[in-house]
Structure 1
């Protein structure tokens, strides 16, 4: 399936999927430094958080340190507890936030986003689609080299609630396989396309050693609303614990490429620590 054909369904499916995703998304918090996951009050998703009003902190004090646990990939994933809700925010300790990019990699946009992240010494999460990885394995290799975390976003970006269990398993398993081949280890995080979760996705993800990750603030870049709108969504939604959703594929992402050059230094100047989850070893 061509990517342009695949993602033209996004707008048709978004309204129903958003309702499904909101119904299946409640508050969980995962710490960026391996502390226990804890339950938090439910919150609408995606929705912007309030802009933090604290005095800016020195951004250089919050630059990221290298990941630990760089051993060879395990031959089999560790089975996890099956969740009934995805994780949608991280620990707010130290004014932490997390940047995530969905639907790639795409050779026209992903390298520019990686360049901007590297220029500011920031790491992010990339939830990739298996069919996009096939011709762009070098981009996952670069993500690994630069310390980014790669998650599973299915093979063809389907609406999981329309598939049977075997189809969902194939979408997830094939993607984990190609991520391991290109990135060097199997993914430990999964994100349902359109934010539409169901029981099979939670169960299969746990069996494959992946935690479910949602988001807090949607930049709406998937709808190409304009660079200024994307910047406003990020800067207006910035707050401790927030997970930002952007896209590096699935359509024209030139606005995303332009916007991150503006909002990323802004977040750093405001003293935010842009973090990624630690790897389980």
Structure 2
């Protein structure tokens, strides 16, 4: 794809403007009405794959961060405590209400923002390339990390945090939570949050259920642990490796203002995902989209 000088200049202006535009809070929307139950999550996720803006009760990020801004590849956007300085005691978290714990499927459709999320990492084969690519375009993303992978690659977990990205919980072993007991779900989430906190000094505040399969039990546990639940509205099914062009096409056709995009940097061969990111990220930026992530 040939990018003109005009397009490059416009992209730099959009990235530079991201922090000031997204400094104001952007509303999030839950797919559930006040009386809807967690059994609706799977169907809502499938509907969101087409990029539709899902209706429901509005909620808010605690705050919203915009683009990191273009930075040299050798610099760190946001400093993070080293392993030796990470605190050993867990911070106190607030128990969430039932409304606060409902999965969020999209941001405010009135704002031209996109949340890029990456699941199943970290993976030393693909995560470093993704990080370099995000830094190239000044994008802050959310990484939903699996505990088993994070414990094997603590330096990579710290690098994700050091580059200013949001660290989030994606369970310890990536199980189907619908078939686990309350104690099993709690163990999956607590072990992962504890590890990420010890590794980065940051307490995870967001969680994503593997496959988007929440249950009443898992929603109660996340509320008890102070973890909000994030789903998605655009799913290119990159995990199935349908081809780089298919992934790219599904994202570009599905993205709308306020979309949450699901991609994967771990869990298998993610070379197609990396190639697709290289293609669709500059297209979205040239189209006037800004990228955002929830706060730490």
**TM-score category of the 2 structures, normalised to the smaller one:** 0.7 to 0.9
Indicate which of 95, 116, 130 corresponds to 2:112. 95
Secondary structure of the structure 1 residue equivalent to 2:152:
coil
Q: Distance in 2 between matches of 1:233 and 1:123?
A: 21
Report deviation, 1:85.
3.4
Indicate which of 51, 55, 79 corresponds to 2:95. 79
Q: Distance in 1 between matches of 2:256 and 2:110?
A: 11
Secondary structure of the structure 1 residue equivalent to 2:44:
coil
Cα deviations across residues 58-95 of structure 1 (Å, max 9, x unaligned)? xxxx744788xx9x986211211124631110123430
Report deviation, 1:114.
0.6
* Partner in structure 2 of residue 55 of structure 1: none
Contact 2:244 2:276 in 1 (8 A): yes
Report deviation, 1:264.
0.6
Q: Distance in 1 between matches of 2:192 and 2:133?
A: 26
Contact 2:30 2:106 in 1 (8 A): no
Report deviation, 1:34.
4.2
Query: What RMSD in Å do the two structures reach over aligned CA positions?
Result: 2.6
Secondary structure of the structure 2 residue equivalent to 1:218:
coil
Structure 2 CA distance for partners of 1:37 and 1:50, relative to 1, 3 Å: closer
Cα deviations across residues 82-118 of structure 1 (Å, max 9, x unaligned)? 2463111012343011000001100001111111000
Segments of structure 2 that go 5 or more residues without pairing to the other structure are: 1-21, 34-42, 54-65, 70-76
Indicate which of 194, 199, 224 corresponds to 2:211. 194
Q: Distance in 2 between matches of 1:164 and 1:139?
A: 31
Q: Distance in 1 between matches of 2:211 and 2:146?
A: 13
Structure 2 CA distance for partners of 1:216 and 1:36, relative to 1, 3 Å: closer
Secondary structure of the structure 2 residue equivalent to 1:85:
coil
* Partner in structure 2 of residue 225 of structure 1: 242
Normalising by structure 2, report the TM-score.
0.73
Report deviation, 1:277.
1.3
Cα deviations across residues 21-53 of structure 1 (Å, max 9, x unaligned)? xxxxxxxxxx984466565677832422269xx
Contact 1:49 1:216 in 2 (8 A): yes
Query: Which aligned pairs between 1:6-25 and structure 2 lie closer than 5 A?
Result: none
Cα deviations across residues 205-263 of structure 1 (Å, max 9, x unaligned)? 11111101000011111100000000001111111010000001111101011110000
Secondary structure of the structure 2 residue equivalent to 1:103:
strand
Contact 1:33 1:278 in 2 (8 A): no
* Partner in structure 2 of residue 104 of structure 1: 121
* Partner in structure 1 of residue 50 of structure 2: 48
Segments of structure 1 that go 5 or more residues without pairing to the other structure are: 1-30, 52-61
Indicate which of 158, 175, 197 corresponds to 2:192. 175
Length, aligned pairs only: 237
Query: Which aligned pairs between 1:1-281 and structure 2 lie closer than 5 A?
Result: 33-34=24-25, 44-45=44-45, 46-49=48-51, 63-64=67-68, 75-83=91-99, 85-279=102-296
Q: Distance in 1 between matches of 2:275 and 2:194?
A: 32
Q: Distance in 2 between matches of 1:214 and 1:36?
A: 15
